[in-house]
Amino acid sequence: MKNKNLFLKTRLLLMILSLMVLGVSFSAEGAIDGVISSSNHFTLTAKSGYIDTPEGGHLFTWGYALNNANMQYPGPTLLLKQNDVVTVTLKNELTVPVSIVFPGQPDVAATGGVPGLLTMEAPPGGTVDYMFTASQPGTYTYYSGTMPELQVEMGLVGAIIVRPSTNPSTQAYNHASSAYDREFLYLLTEMDPEIHRKVSEGRMNEVDTTTFFPVNWFINGRSLPDTLLEAPSLLLPSQPYNIVPRMRVGERVLVRMIGGGRDFHPLHLHGNHHKVIARDARLLESTPGTSGADLAEMLFSTTVASGQTTDAIFTWTGENLGWDLYGHSFADPLVSNETFAETTLLSSLSSNAFSTSLTVADASGFPATSSFRAIVWSGTFPGTTREIVRLKRSFGNTFTITGRGLEMIPLTQGNVEASNWPSGSRIAYTDHGRPVPVKLPDQLDLTNGMFWSGSPFLGTAGPLPPGEGGFNPNSGFFFMWHSHSEKELTNNNVFPGGLASMMIVEHPDPLIAPFADNPNITVVP
Amino acid sequence: MRKRSAMNIMKRILLMMLFTLAVSGMASAATFNLRADVITKAMPDGAVITMWGFACDSATAPAVCPNQGVVTVPGPQLVVPSNDNTLTINLTNNLSEPVSIIIPGQQQNVTAMTPVKFTDSQGRKRVMSFTNQAAAKTGSVSGTAAYTWNNVRPGSFIYQSGTHPAVQIQMGLYGAMKKDFATGQAYNSSSSQYANEVILFYSEIDSALHSAVATGNYGPGKAVTSTTHYEPKYFLVNGEPFSAGKAPVLAGLPNQNTLIRFMNIGLSDLTPLLQGLYMNIISEDGNLLRYPRNQYSVILAAGKTIDAIITPTKSGFYPVYDRRLKLANGPSTGGGMLTYLNVNSPTNCTANVLSNFSLDLPIVNVSGTNLFADLQYVPGTTSDIMLKLTDYGTITDSGSFSGCQASTLTFDGSNFKLHVPLARYSNSGFTLDLQYVPSTDGQIWFRLTSVSSASL
Ligand SMILES: [Cu+2]
């Protein structure tokens, strides 16, 4: 017990240290780690080992190892190209028969081994070759087809990504509707430690899978906060994959979700809805093969069902939040994506005329209740005089100035101050110059966070406690992406933990060097 | 057996259809006389479970009773003819408590659908049934009730008890009900046309509840007072859990549309997964989807029905199993919600290698003539595996084996050799090579000379 606590403390300390490193360097993050074979021949060895869970759990696990490497959980993510003719050789170093099934792959030919219920199985010490053609792109899974109700629980599960022949590095499928800037894998699983304990003690015949009661939950084989640890990590030798999604404002992020376990998990992506474009590696399209993801669905939680795969596009611009996400001052020039609804004034707006109206149709694009910022100008935007005012809808399509010359600073251009806007001037709804409200810590506070922004992006600039503010150099904004089954935010009854990670949205300023996707890809012959 | 060719079967189906149409011109109200009764069901591990089920004792044409008079779980499949809008169920209750029948998704005659209440020990009125009930059997007098649906719409539905459903549905009071839009077409869309049909009706058994009910230990103040601690031990497809040697389900020929009606009356959500195939999911809860969804798996929530169409291009055995991995019978593996779809000719060209080994082979000889040979394994005293020719001939109707890979028969001047490719459940085909052995007993014998897999 004492040792375990010491171990736990050491691990936490090491983790914090590595998080600090991560915060400074942001290296080895992004994209999807996995294995590529130049000859399309992968050798997976089923073997046993242990995985660690953040609350101090140490679970006996079966997994697919790459060649003779460590047992890993989940198995290696196989990175394939469309039409690859793939051979997966399974070697079995376990004491029970084992196999691999590849749902979604047609005509898998299995040679060697002995027949099982779902495919040919490798007996202990034996080998099976599985061959298939990865004819369709998408997100797939593989797992043991032998006694799967036990062996999947024990860890014999992994992911397959088949890249399309069209734009394989920027599209998930052979259609532009699946284009993305960055991609991340969410292979969701769970474990019931009781089953692992019985198997490790050689009491496999006492396992009753109908009493399955999971208390640990994983993304890519790790639980929060280990999900945020670097990948690979010396601390987690059997769990080589992490999950730290990062994006720059406005990018399209492809989220590949796989239900690897026996339970459904509602994956909730904070920050915005996501657009589900494919299930089971098929675009949601009205005319298969041509229409693209025209039947895509907007969701804020996706039910990640067992064995099923779901691809979704997430993007985040901060649009319509009412804050300037770019940290501009009012005097800064507007950037092109800062104005939202835009139209023409139907009546003049000036110091004497406090209200103006828009067409009913155009007014529908403007906020209905809260007061908001608008930019008014004439001529060709933004080449003429302009002004930022605060407006509020008074009724219908009529808007009244509620702020002008107070916190609002008239913009000037060419030393001409605008103040009178005749009917026909243009107006647009904008968040320009409105900082995100951030409560900065007191100077005397002892803060425990390395991610206090103290930055102009996504927050108010201001003095921070000594030593703080240096760990989020790209001024990222954090969203938790997690299971919405809140019970799953624990590690064996210890909160917080479980099926969660953090999405970091970073500033799009071209002066900040865009971070590189730097996946850990093992290339085998 | 070659006479029972696909062509002949088609002819028979056609005749049946004509008969059905002729009869249905006269009557247009499907009436089923169902009986709720007790049965026991044996599980593969030997457990005997007391269940409540339905029997169809009689039906009014054109409705037909499947398994007439036999209590089954799930209950008899009720088929409402396409041109029939009215369904009537006359229910006779032989159980010790009142029961009823509802069909979620079908509108019952509104005036009849009145909740039934009882007064509990604290004087509170509480609902015990969604609709009128057939009273419990008292002495030799069974309770009765009648239910009518006047505007039956096409689709796949589950009929089930509307009384005390937490217990009665678990006990087995459920079954499939379906109506097609037209013959061979499930809904009002050509996308739902099918040549073959498979029903996969999923349910679960929590044996603790069944034994409590059977022994009178369920109810207020008794050993088991609620169904809260639901922990099913058996996972059934069409009323049976999988166990070794269970026969595959015939699912048509390659390149035909086969409709799969998925139904789940268990209390857990499932994910049936087709290995090696995609399906077009065309409907949910008896409602046609505007566009089919092409997936290899489908979320099948408790109480739901989903229809999907598969069009396999190759013959073989395709496993369909619950990916939530309810694949055990109690603590024993190799059971539960697993089914093999046999995409093949009705006269099967594959071998049952588990017992009573026999081969039923379509053969193409060198000149392209379609032959067949039926071989039967005969245990002998030597270590050789010997098969006796039991039937042979020329196939005149090639439709009867279009799903099979033909075996090849060669003659090298002195020996006849048969090379037999076989499909296994796992689709991991293997081949047998057989050699003719001259014999004096008047029989034609073949000796097994090699198997591509050591598994036989
Ligand atoms: Cu949340």
What is the Å distance from ligand 1's center to A272 Cα? 12
Return all residues near A497 (Cβ < 8 A) that are at least 6 apart: A54, A55, A223, A224, A225, A489, A490, A491
- Name the pTM for this structure: 0.81
pLDDT score at A167: 95
pLDDT score at B141: 96
> 3-class SS at B115?
coil
Neighbours of A239 (CB within 10 A): 27
What is the Å distance from ligand 1's center to A268 Cα? 7
Q: Which residues of B touch A153 (CB under 8 A)?
A: 325
B246 band by pLDDT with thresholds 50, 70 and 90: confident
What is the Å distance from ligand 1's center to A482 Cα? 7
What is the Å distance from ligand 1's center to B293 Cα? 30
C-alpha B159/C-alpha B169 separation (Å) is 10
Is there a contact between A107 and B327 if contact means CB atoms under 8 Å apart?
no
pLDDT score at B58: 95
Q: Which two tokens mark A502?
A: 């953090």
Is there a contact between A103 and B325 if contact means CB atoms under 8 Å apart?
no
Q: What is the pLDDT of residues B37-70, one digit of tens each?
A: 999 999 999 999 999 999 999 999 888 999 899 9
Q: Which residues of B touch A286 (CB under 8 A)?
A: 291
Burial of B360 per CB tally in 10 Å (0-12, 13-18, 19+): buried
| Closest Cα in chain B to A303 | B299
Q: Name which residue leads in pLDDT, B260 or B354.
A: B260
C-alpha A525/C-alpha B361 separation (Å) is 43
pLDDT score at B249: 85
pLDDT score at B438: 74
Distance from the B327 Cα atom to the nearest Cα atom in chain A, whole angstroms? 6
Element containing residue A394 per DSSP (H, E): strand A386-395
- Per-residue pLDDT for B358 more than 60? no
Q: Is B302 on the interface with A (CB under 8 A)?
A: no
pLDDT score at A7: 36
**Which amino acid, one-letter code, is at A382?**
P
Is there a contact between A280 and B295 if contact means CB atoms under 8 Å apart?
yes
pLDDT score at A400: 85
- Per-residue pLDDT for B360 more than 50? yes
- Per-residue pLDDT for A192 more than 50? yes
DSSP string, A456-513: STTS-----STT-S-S-TT--EEEEEEESSGGGSSBTTBSS-BSEEEEEEE---TTSP
pLDDT score at A303: 97
Is there a contact between B271 and A208 if contact means CB atoms under 8 Å apart?
no
- Per-residue pLDDT for A19 more than 60? no
Is there a contact between A103 and B273 if contact means CB atoms under 8 Å apart?
yes
Q: What is the pLDDT of residues A272-294, one digit of tens each?
A: 999 999 999 999 999 998 999 99
Q: Is B326 on the interface with A (CB under 8 A)?
A: yes
pLDDT score at A364: 84
CB A375 within 8 A of CB A365: no
CB B297 within 8 A of CB A103: yes
Q: What is the pLDDT of residues A20-38, one digit of tens each?
A: 333 333 333 458 999 999 9
Considering chain B, what percentage of its residues have pLDDT values greater than 90? 59
B245 band by pLDDT with thresholds 50, 70 and 90: confident
A403 band by pLDDT with thresholds 50, 70 and 90: low
Q: Which of A133, A97, A134, A90 is nearest to A117 (CA)?
A: A97
Q: Which residues of B touch A307 (CB under 8 A)?
A: 271, 273, 297, 323
A419 band by pLDDT with thresholds 50, 70 and 90: low
Q: Is the dihedral of CA A188, A194, A197, A199 positive or negative?
A: negative
Q: Which residues of A touch B274 (CB under 8 A)?
A: 103
pLDDT score at A382: 53
The whole-number average pLDDT for the span A59-82 is 97
The whole-number average pLDDT for the span B137-165 is 96
Distance from the B238 Cα atom to the nearest Cα atom in chain A, whole angstroms? 19
pLDDT score at A354: 78
- Per-residue pLDDT for A191 more than 90? yes
B421 band by pLDDT with thresholds 50, 70 and 90: low
Is there a contact between A116 and B426 if contact means CB atoms under 8 Å apart?
yes
Selected for mutation to probe chain A from B310, B333, B354 (highest A CB count within 10 Å) is B333
What is the Å distance from ligand 1's center to A138 Cα? 28
pLDDT score at B267: 96
What is the Å distance from ligand 1's center to A485 Cα? 10
What is the Å distance from ligand 1's center to A34 Cα? 28
CB B397 within 8 A of CB B386: no
Q: Which residues of A touch B314 (CB under 8 A)?
A: 107
For B184, phi then psi, to 5°, come to: 75, 15
Q: Is A204 on the interface with B (CB under 8 A)?
A: no
Q: Which residues of B touch A211 (CB under 8 A)?
A: 231
A496 band by pLDDT with thresholds 50, 70 and 90: very high
C-alpha B281/C-alpha B279 separation (Å) is 6
Is there a contact between B326 and A147 if contact means CB atoms under 8 Å apart?
no
> For chain A, how are helix, strand and coil distributed in percent, rounded to 5?
10, 35, 55
- Per-residue pLDDT for B3 more than 50? no
pLDDT score at B430: 55
Distance from the B249 Cα atom to the nearest Cα atom in chain A, whole angstroms? 15
pLDDT score at A405: 47
C-alpha B65/C-alpha B63 separation (Å) is 7
Return all residues near B272 (Cβ < 8 A) that are at least 6 apart: B200, B202, B262, B297, B298, B300, B320, B321, B322, B323, B337
pLDDT score at A481: 97
- Across the interface, of A117, A295, A308, the residue whose CB is closest to B297 is A308
What is the Å distance from ligand 1's center to B51 Cα? 44
Topology (CATH) of B234-346? Immunoglobulin-like (2.60.40)
- Across the interface, of B233, B293, B426, the residue whose CB is closest to A110 is B426
Q: What is the pLDDT of residues A459-495, one digit of tens each?
A: 555 566 666 655 566 667 788 999 999 999 999 999 9
C-alpha A393/C-alpha A381 separation (Å) is 24
C-alpha A311/C-alpha A302 separation (Å) is 10
Is there a contact between A286 and B291 if contact means CB atoms under 8 Å apart?
yes
Is there a contact between A106 and B323 if contact means CB atoms under 8 Å apart?
no
Please, what is the average pLDDT of chain B?
82
What is the Å distance from ligand 1's center to A483 Cα? 8
pLDDT score at A486: 93
- Across the interface, of B231, B325, B426, the residue whose CB is closest to A115 is B426
The whole-number average pLDDT for the span B8-30 is 44
Q: Identify the structural domains of chain A with CATH numbers, from first to last.
A: 2-317+515-524 (2.60.40.420), 340-430 (2.40.30)
Is there a contact between A280 and B297 if contact means CB atoms under 8 Å apart?
yes
Element containing residue B209 per DSSP (H, E): helix B207-214
B351 band by pLDDT with thresholds 50, 70 and 90: very low
C-alpha A433/C-alpha A451 separation (Å) is 23
Is there a contact between B330 and A208 if contact means CB atoms under 8 Å apart?
yes
Is there a contact between B294 and A308 if contact means CB atoms under 8 Å apart?
no
CB B6 within 8 A of CB B291: no
Of the given ranges (A246-260, A299-313, A355-369, B251-265), which has the lowest mean pLDDT?
A355-369
- Across the interface, of A111, A115, A259, the residue whose CB is closest to B424 is A115
Considering chain A, what percentage of its residues have pLDDT values greater than 90? 55
B366 band by pLDDT with thresholds 50, 70 and 90: very low
pLDDT score at B199: 97
Selected for mutation to probe chain A from B274, B304, B323 (highest A CB count within 10 Å) is B323
The whole-number average pLDDT for the span B279-304 is 97
Q: Which of B289, B32, B208 is nearest to A295 (CA)?
A: B289
pLDDT score at B395: 53
Q: Name which residue leads in pLDDT, A417 or B371.
A: B371
C-alpha B338/C-alpha B242 separation (Å) is 6
The yes-or-no answer to whether B2-186 and B234-346 have a common fold is: yes
DSSP string, A60-120: EEEEEEETTS---SS---EEEETT-EEEEEEEE-SSS-B--B-TT-SS-EEESSEE-SSSE
B417-456 residues touching A, CB cutoff 8 A: 424-429, 453-455
Q: Which residues of B touch A288 (CB under 8 A)?
A: 294
Q: Which two tokens mark B154?
A: 């096409």
Q: Is B277 on the interface with A (CB under 8 A)?
A: yes
Omega of the bond leading into B104 within 30 degrees of 0 (cis): no
Q: Is B39 on the interface with A (CB under 8 A)?
A: no
Q: What is the pLDDT of residues A198-249, one digit of tens each?
A: 999 999 999 999 999 999 999 999 999 999 998 899 999 999 999 989 888 8
Please, what is the average pLDDT of chain A?
83
A16 band by pLDDT with thresholds 50, 70 and 90: very low
What is the Å distance from ligand 1's center to A498 Cα? 13
Return all residues near B290 (Cβ < 8 A) that are at least 6 apart: none
Q: Domain map of chain B by residue range? A: 2-186, 234-346, 347-455
Is there a contact between B297 and A307 if contact means CB atoms under 8 Å apart?
yes
Q: Name which residue leads in pLDDT, A258 or A376.
A: A258
Q: Is A284 on the interface with B (CB under 8 A)?
A: yes
- Per-residue pLDDT for B248 more than 60? yes
C-alpha B275/C-alpha A145 separation (Å) is 10
Q: What is the pLDDT of residues A139-184, one digit of tens each?
A: 999 999 999 999 999 999 999 999 999 999 999 999 999 999 999 9
Q: What is the pLDDT of residues B115-125, one digit of tens each?
A: 999 998 899 99
Q: Has the ipTM of the complex gone over 0.90?
A: no
- Per-residue pLDDT for A338 more than 80? no
Considering chain A, what percentage of its residues have pLDDT values greater than 70? 78
pLDDT score at A100: 98
Q: What is the pLDDT of residues A422-467, one digit of tens each?
A: 888 888 888 777 777 666 666 676 555 554 444 434 455 556 666 6
What is the Å distance from ligand 1's center to A270 Cα? 6
What is the Å distance from ligand 1's center to A214 Cα? 21
What is the Å distance from ligand 1's center to B269 Cα? 24
Q: Is A160 on the interface with B (CB under 8 A)?
A: no
Q: Which of A110, A181, A175, A154 is nearest to A262 (CA)?
A: A154
What is the Å distance from ligand 1's center to A266 Cα? 11
- Across the interface, of A116, A209, A306, the residue whose CB is closest to B271 is A306
Q: Looking at the domain covering B2-186, what would its CATH class be?
A: mainly beta
Q: Which of A274, A224, A217 is nearest to A244 (CA)?
A: A224
Is there a contact between B327 and A149 if contact means CB atoms under 8 Å apart?
yes
| Closest Cα in chain B to A143 | B323
The whole-number average pLDDT for the span B377-398 is 66
Q: What is the pLDDT of residues B165-219, one digit of tens each?
A: 999 999 999 999 999 999 999 999 999 999 999 999 999 999 999 999 999 999 9
